[in-house]
Amino acid sequence: EPILQINNVSFSYKNRTVLEEVKLSVQKGDFLAIVGPNGAGKSTLSQMLIGLLQPEHGEIVIDGVSYEKLRSEALMRQIGFVFQNPEHQFIADSVEEELAYGFKVQGWKEADWKPYVNELLDTFQLTEQAAQNPFSLSQGQKRRLSVATMLTNDQEILILDEPTFGQDQENTEALMALLKDWHARGKTIIMITHDMDLVYQYADHVALLQSGKVAYHGHPSIFFQRS
Ligand code: ADP
Ligand code: ADP
C-alpha cells in the first residue's frame, strides 16, 4: 500500500482552478521530484500535503488514513516540510537552540545532542551563525537551517519546496548528499524543483504537473527520453 495517496484532488483560489483531479501515489521510500512550469500548482499541492490547505474535492490519504481523520499533530509527526521561504516556523532564539529543540523535547542530555547538532551546523555551514537569531539569517541560511532542523525530527516523509534555490554549488551538494543519505535510510522524499540535473541525479520518480494536472508520473529516465 502506498504511504501517500492523492486521490482526485481539486482546488481553486476563489474561482480559479489550480489543481484538477490530481491523482498521485507515493510508495514508502520513494524519492519523488515534482516538476513543472511556474504556476502549475506545485506549491499549492505541497501545502495540501502538509495540511495547510484542504482539497475541494478528493482526498489525501497517509498510511491508509484520510487527512480528514487526522489531527494536525499526528500529521506533523509523520511529515516534515521545508518551505521555499522559511520564515515563520523558527521557534528558538538561536540557530543552535533551534537545532537542539527537538532533542530537548525528547529529553536528551546536552552531552548527547551537542555532537549531533555541531555536525549539522558544520554540514550546513552554519557554525559561525550558531549563536545568531534564526530571523537574522540570509534566505539561503534560513533554508539550510530549515532542512537541518527537519533532519532532527525523524519524520517518515519529507517535503521540500525548492530547497536548493539560491544555494551555491557546495551547499547544494551538501544538502543533496544528506537527502540521499536520508533516503537510503528508507525515508520518503518529495522535492519540488526546477533543477533537472538534481532530478536526474537523485530522484527515482518524477511527477510533471502542468496546468493543475499530472501530465507524467514515472521513472526519470523515461521522463528525460520524452522531453
Ligand atoms: P507553482 O508552485 O507550480 O508555481 P502555485 O501552486 O504556487 O504554483 O500556484 C498555482 C497558481 O495559483 C498560480 O497561478 C498562482 O498565482 C495561484 N496562487 C497561488 N497561491 C495563491 C493564493 N494564495 N491566492 C490566489 N492565487 C494563488
Ligand atoms: P511559489 O513559486 O512556490 O509558488 P510564490 O513566491 O509564487 O511561491 O508564492 C509565495 C506565496 O504567495 C505562496 O504562499 C503563495 O500561495 C502566494 N501566492 C502566489 N501567487 C499568489 C497570487 N496570485 N495571489 C495571492 N497569493 C499568491
pLDDT in tens, 165-222: 888 898 899 889 889 988 999 999 999 999 999 999 999 999 999 999 999 999 998 8
- CA–CA distance from 137 to each of 91, 119, 128, 131, 169 (Å)? 14, 19, 11, 11, 19
* Ligand 2 atom nearest residue 161's Cα: 3
Pocket lining: 42 vs ligand 1, CB cutoff 6 Å: yes
Percent of the chain with pLDDT over 70: 100
Residue pointed to by grid coordinates 537574522: 136
Pocket lining: 40 vs ligand 1, CB cutoff 6 Å: yes
Pocket lining: 36 vs ligand 1, CB cutoff 6 Å: yes
Output the CA 16–ligand 1 centroid distance in Å. 10
Instruction: Examine the pLDDT at 149 and tell me if it is beyond 70.
Output: yes
Pocket lining: 43 vs ligand 2, CB cutoff 6 Å: yes
First-to-last C-alpha distance (Å) of the chain: 30
**CA dist., res. 124 & res. 17, Å (int):** 38
Distance of CA 129 to the CA centre of its chain: 23
DSSP string, 29-54: T-EEEEE--TTSSHHHHHHHHTTSS-
**CA dist., res. 131 & res. 113, Å (int):** 16
Pocket test for ligand 2, best of 13, 19, 43 (most atoms within 8 A of CB): 43
Per the prediction, the chain carries an average pLDDT of 92
Ligand nearest the Cα atom of residue 48: 1
Name the residue at shortest CA distance from atom 23 of ligand 1.
13
pLDDT in tens, 64-93: 999 999 888 889 889 999 887 777 789 999
